[in-house]
C-alpha cells in the first residue's frame, strides 16, 4: 500500500540526514588546549618518588564533593560532547524542495503539501542538534510529526457507538462505482466482529441490481436487510430500517444510498430529504483512494453540499501514491474512518494516522 510514496519518502529522509550531517561536519572543531610547562612537570614522577623505599602512606578518605571536583580537561570533554549544530534554512532547502515535488507527484493536494513543508521548515530551522545525536531520528520524528499533523486523529467508530444512544444511524454517500455498497457490507461485518448488532437499509432503489447486491452481501454475513421494491422512495426505506432497529434493540443502522454527483441537483435534494427523515448520527462519504486529487475535490464538494462526518477510501491496496489518504482529512476537515484494502469482507482497516505514517517511513517492523 502506497509503495511509491513510501520509497520516495525514505529517500528524502536519507537526503535530509545527509545534509544535516554535512552541516555538522562543517562546524569548527573545538580548540586544542595545550598543557602548560608547570602542568607537565607536575604530572611527571620526581626522583624522590622513584627512589623512596618507604611504603605508601595510608590512603586518606576524600569527601565526595572534593573527589568529584571537575578538572579543566573534564570540562573540555563535556563541552565537546554537548557541542551543538544550529540548523539554518539553507541547510535543508534542497531536501525540502525535493520533498515538495515527491508529495505533488504522488497526488498530495497543493494546500496539504504546503502545510507539510511549512511544518518541516518550522520544526527544523533554528533547531539545535547535539553532535553525536541521531540525525535520522531527528529527521524521522520531524517528518512523522508533519504528516500526522495533516492526517488528523482518525475516528474510533466502536468507541463512538458505545458512547451514543442506540441505534446509531450511519448514512453512506458517494459517487457511482466507488464500492459504496460493498463498503456498507464490510462495515457491517466489522461491527459484528466487535460485538454490535446491525441492520442494513437498502436505500439505493434506483440502480439496477442494487437491492439484490446488498441482499447477497447481507445473507452471507447473516445481517437483516430492510428493503422496498425497486423505484421506491429511499427515505421511506431508511425510515423503516430505523424503526426496525428501535423495535428489535439493534445497535447500528447502516444506510446504503444511490451513488450521485454533487452537481446533480435533483439527486442532492433527494439526499437532503433522506437526511431530514432518517436523522443520521454520522454521514460517511465513500470514494476511491486511487482517484487521488479527484477524490479529495469530490469529498470537499459533497461536504459543502450535504455535510460529511467521516470518510472511507476504498481500493487503498491498489494505490501506490497515497495522495488521497494524506490529503482528504486535512482538505475536508473530517477524519478518515476506514481504508478498503481488498475484496474480502475482512479487507477493511480502521484508519490510524500513526500506523499509516510509520509504514510510510519504514518504521512498521
Q: Is the pTM of this model over 0.95?
A: no
Over 90: is that where the pLDDT of 236 sits?
A: yes
pLDDT attached to residue 94:
87
Task: Tell me which of 196 and 319 has the higher pLDDT.
Answer: 196
pLDDT band at 18 (very low <50, low <70, confident <90, very high): confident
Over 60: is that where the pLDDT of 68 sits?
A: no
Give 287-316 pLDDT, tens digit per residue: 999 999 899 999 998 888 888 999 999 999
Give 133-146 pLDDT, tens digit per residue: 566 777 888 899 99
Point out which residues pair with 173 in neighbouring strands.
285
pLDDT attached to residue 32:
44
Long-range contacts of 34-39 (CB under 8 A, 24+ apart): none
Torsion of CA 155, 156, 158, 163, to 10 degrees: -90
Residues 6+ apart with CB under 8 A from 83: 27, 30, 130, 131
CATH of domain 157-360: 3.40.50.300
Report the percent of the chain where pLDDT is more than 90: 52
pLDDT attached to residue 208:
72
Helices (H) and strands (E) in the chain, counts: 16, 10
CB 274 within 8 A of CB 165: no
Give 258-283 pLDDT, tens digit per residue: 887 766 767 778 888 999 999 999 99
Amino acid at each position: 500500500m502506497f509503495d511509491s510514496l513510501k520509497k520516495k519518502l525514505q529517500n528524502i529522509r536519507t537526503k535530509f540526514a545527509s545534509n544535516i550531517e554535512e552541516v555538522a561536519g562543517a562546524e569548527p572543531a573545538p580548540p586544542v588546549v595545550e598543557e602548560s610547562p608547570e602542568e607537565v612537570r607536575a604530572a611527571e614522577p620526581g626522583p624522590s618518588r622513584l627512589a623512596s623505599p618507604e611504603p605508601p602512606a595510608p590512603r586518606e578518605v576524600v569527601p565526595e564533593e572534593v573527589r568529584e571536583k571537575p578538572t579543566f580537561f573534564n570540562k573540555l570533554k563535556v563541552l565537546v560532547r554537548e557541542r551543538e549544530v544550529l540548523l539554518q534554512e539553507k541547510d535543508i532547502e534542497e531536501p525540502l524542495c525535493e520533498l515538495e515535488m515527491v508529495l505533488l507527484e504522488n497526488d498530495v493536494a497543493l494546500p496539504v503539501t504546503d502545510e507539510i513543508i511549512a511544518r518541516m521548515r518550522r520544526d527544523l530551522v533554528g533547531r539545535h542538534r547535539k553532535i553525536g545525536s541521531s540525525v535520522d531520528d531527528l529527521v524521522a520524528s520531524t517528518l512523522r510529526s508533519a504528516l500526522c499533523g495533516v492526517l488528523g486523529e482518525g475516528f474510533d467508530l466502536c468507541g463512538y457507538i458505545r458512547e451514543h444512544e442506540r441505534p446509531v444511524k450511519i448514512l453512506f454517500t458517494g459517487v457511482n462505482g466507488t464500492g459504496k455498497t460493498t463498503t456498507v457490507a464490510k462495515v457491517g461485518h466489522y461491527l459484528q466482529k466487535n460485538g454490535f448488532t446491525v441492520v442494513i437499509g437498502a436505500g439505493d432503489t434506483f440502480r439496477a441490481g442494487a437491492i439484490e447486491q446488498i441482499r447477497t452481501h447481507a445473507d452471507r454475513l447473516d445481517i437483516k436487510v430492510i428493503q422496498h421494491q425497486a423505484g421506491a422512495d429511499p427515505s421511506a426505506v431508511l425510515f423503516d430500517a430505523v424503526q426496525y432497529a428501535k423495535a428489535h434493540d439493534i445497535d447500528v443502522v447502516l444506510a446504503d444510498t444511490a451513488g450521485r454527483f454533487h452537481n446533480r441537483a435533483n439527486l442532492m435534494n433527494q439526499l437532503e430529504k433522506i437526511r431530514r427523515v432518517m436523522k443520521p448520527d454520522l454521514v460517511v462519504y465513500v470514494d476511491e483512494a486511487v482517484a487521488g486529487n479527484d477524490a479529495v475535490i469530490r469529498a470537499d464538494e459533497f461536504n459543502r453540499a450535504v455535510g460529511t462526518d467521516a470518510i472511507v477510501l476504498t481500493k487503498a491496496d491498489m494505490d501506490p501514491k497515497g495522495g488521497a489518504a494524506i490529503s482528504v482529512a486535512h482538505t475536508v476537515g473530517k477524519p478518515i474512518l476506514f481504508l478498503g484494502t481488498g475484496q474480502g469482507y475482512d479487507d477493511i482497516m480502521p484508519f490510524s494516522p500513526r500506523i499509516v505514517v510509520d509504514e510510510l517511513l519504514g518504521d512498521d517492523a
